[in-house]
Chain A
Amino acid sequence: MSVESRERILARVAEATASRAGLPHPGALETPLTDDPEAAFVKRFTSSGGEVVEADRVRGRSVWLTRLLRGLDPEVVGVAVGPEVPPEFRPRLPEVAAAHAGAGISVAWAAVAESGSLILPSTGTRAVQLLPPVHVVWVPRGRVYGRLEDALRELRRNLSAGVGLHSGPSKSADIGRTVVTGVHGPGRCMAVLGSHASAGTSET
């Protein structure tokens, strides 16, 4: 039974750990800081196959995004949009279920330069982040961390049930050692850097 097993396992672990000296935690791993996290993010994310679009000077983001999605090949007709995406960042395209959408639109909690990652909380809808062939992610300006450790330290206080780090498109080399994209998750992952406020993040 599980309760007995719990006691037994913990007792055996305790016995084993008591038999040798406890070793100290080495502290933080000091990875290098970067002066320009945003530029470093762009470099890392794109080298992993991610795409970055700058939307800083864009006015009317909704129309702009609509045009961008229409211009993709294949053209995006229906979209799935996370509940966290504010109205002015939603494309003017019919919203459909994630399983049938040409693109999913989300807002990242933050991005990370060191690992080239977008951090996606489950305050959004996970199917939107995973099912459509294209994933477009708004990254609020000023929300790019240099180091992953610093991002995770902050994230600790904002943990939702299932956080995803997306660091490029879905990939596999399981067949003939040839890299194919879009195996299960999105085959294209686009980070849109733009100065906007997102749900839970203040304008910077």
Chain B
Amino acid sequence: MDTGIKDYAARSREIIREEPGVRESVTGATIAFDEKRRQGYAEVDADTWRRWAEGVKNHTLTHLDRYLAEAEEQLQANGAQVHWAADAAEAREIVTGLAVRHGVRSVVKGKSMVTEEIDLNPVLEAAGIEVFETDLGEYILQLLEEPPSHILGPALHKSLEQVQELFAERLDTARDGDPDTLARAAREVLRDAFIHADMGITGANFLVAETGTVALIENEGNIRLTTSLPRVHVAVVGIEKLLPRMTDLAGFLQLTARAATGQPIGCFVSLIQGPAADPGDDGPEEVHVVLVDNGRTDVLAHEHAWEALRCVRCGACLNACPVYRQTGGHAYGYVYSGPIGSVLDPGLLGLHEAMPLPFASSLCGACQDACPVRIPIPELLLEWRREAQEEGLTPWRERAALAGLASVATRPGLYRLAGKIGSRLGATGAARVLPMLGEWSKDRALPKPSPRTFRDLWREGIE
């Protein structure tokens, strides 16, 4: 697997130095998202909801074979076709094969991390198929030929001015066009694409075993169009996306939206059971669900990392992360960035491939507090660090950091303690204990030693 992960430190430095606007855009957007998430949680009994969601996912993941079989059976009973892909290559082959078999000339896509993960677009394009990313943020990035930088707001590292410039060049809008005008120009292009597309490709937020339901959450309506207008719909779904029952969806739809944007629910939810069946229904003639492993069974087999498979890809941990805020997702070099990327990528790709991501964190714990399914991200980071050390994968600086943390690793209150060490040592000392910090301390003035804990400082962002 070809990723840019190993260049994490260099890329971080480069982004901070060469593209200061990124840091500004990402920090602004994530702080706003994080605040909305807090409000969204405050309106409900979020602790109970999160414990419940953790419980449902744990139950599902410890009975995953049963639920996968049930989902397959239900989908087939609904008239959908189910495919299994062991790895990215096989997933690409299946989707491209379907497109070719159906004589597809153009494809509309809903935002989907898994199709980024399997790098689907280039093979479709190589087969002569025109591909339209239809999420507004994804569309911007497609024009720029950039990968997404954030799970939820793929283009949140772009400023209004950058989009104005891009659209002026490509869509002939005014240089000072307001967001409304720009969105309308994109809508026009994409509306045409929706009407003419032969195939719609999406991911899935959830797959309900009981009913064989592919559930998708969004705000723009592009996913509903993608799953409704073209004659073939292909949903590419990671095998960890299962939920046992339809009623479980109620909690997950609401909790995921609150964690992601603070909304009570996404503006649009699509519940796809299979191809159109009713006489008035203009939905697709064929629905295909591609179940993708691509490293997930490795994660499931891992003694600790399996908990990361609870992830519902809400982006809350990215929004809460002071380290992510400095650079956005591109520095991480892989589709899953930020805190969840740092614990998931080593499991999906192998630890060696994912180095030094487990070190790209200050262990402040903000991610875990935000996570709707309570993934113990800091603990998993430490676990990967320990394994990296065991395997001799850590450079000296990381090893020094590990030595500093090893003594506290077994005690409770670890993160706060690690934070206190940081505040005692001051910025330079902290940079040694928390190595990635050193990368931006080269470019930025760091705060003076503070009586507050390091965790508090990180919480506020290093300003």
Contact = CB atoms under 8 A, between A and B. Distances in A.
B is bound to A: yes
Interface of A: 2-3, 5-6, 8-10, 12-17, 19-26, 28-29, 31, 44, 48, 82-84, 99, 114-117, 122-127, 129-131, 147-149, 151-153, 155-156, 159-178, 180, 182-186
Given A2-B94, A26-B55, A185-B220, A161 B297 contact: no
B379 to A, nearest CB: 17
A165 B136 contact: no
Interface of B: 28-29, 32, 44, 48-49, 51-52, 55-56, 58-59, 61-65, 68-69, 78-79, 83-86, 90, 94, 134-137, 140, 153-156, 159-160, 163, 178-180, 182-183, 186-187, 190-191, 194-195, 210-211, 213, 219-222, 224-225, 227-229, 239, 244, 246-247, 249-251, 253-254, 263-283, 287, 291, 293, 297, 300-301, 306
A29 B282 contact: no
Given A184-B190, A185-B220, A149 B247 contact: yes
B187 A183 contact: yes
Given A124-B280, A125-B281, A183-B220, 6 more contacts: A6-B84, A23-B58, A161-B287, A170-B220, A170-B221, A180-B179
A62 B446 CA distance: 67
B278 A123 contact: yes
Contacts, number: 266
Given A22-B63, A114-B254, A171 B267 contact: yes
A19 B247 CA distance: 28
Given A160-B278, A174-B137, A9 B291 contact: yes
A8 B90 CA distance: 13
Nearest to A4: B86
Contacts of B179: 175-176, 178, 180
A59 B270 CA distance: 34
Contact of B269 (A20, A82, A117, A183): A117
A5 B84 CA distance: 6
A141 B135 CA distance: 35
B250 A29 contact: yes
Contacts of A186: 221
Contacts of A147: 250
Contacts of A184: 134, 187, 190-191, 194, 220-222, 225
Contact of A12 (B246, B250, B291, B301): B301
A48 B203 CA distance: 25
Contact of A126 (B153, B211, B228): B228
Contact of B136 (A124, A156, A174): A174
A123 to B, nearest CB: 5
Nearest to A22: B62
A2 B292 CA distance: 11
B265 A170 contact: no
Contacts of A148: 250, 253-254, 265
Contacts of A170: 219-221, 267-268
Contacts of B182: 175
5 contacts: A9-B239, A125-B281, A161-B281, A164-B271, A167-B268
Contacts of A173: 153
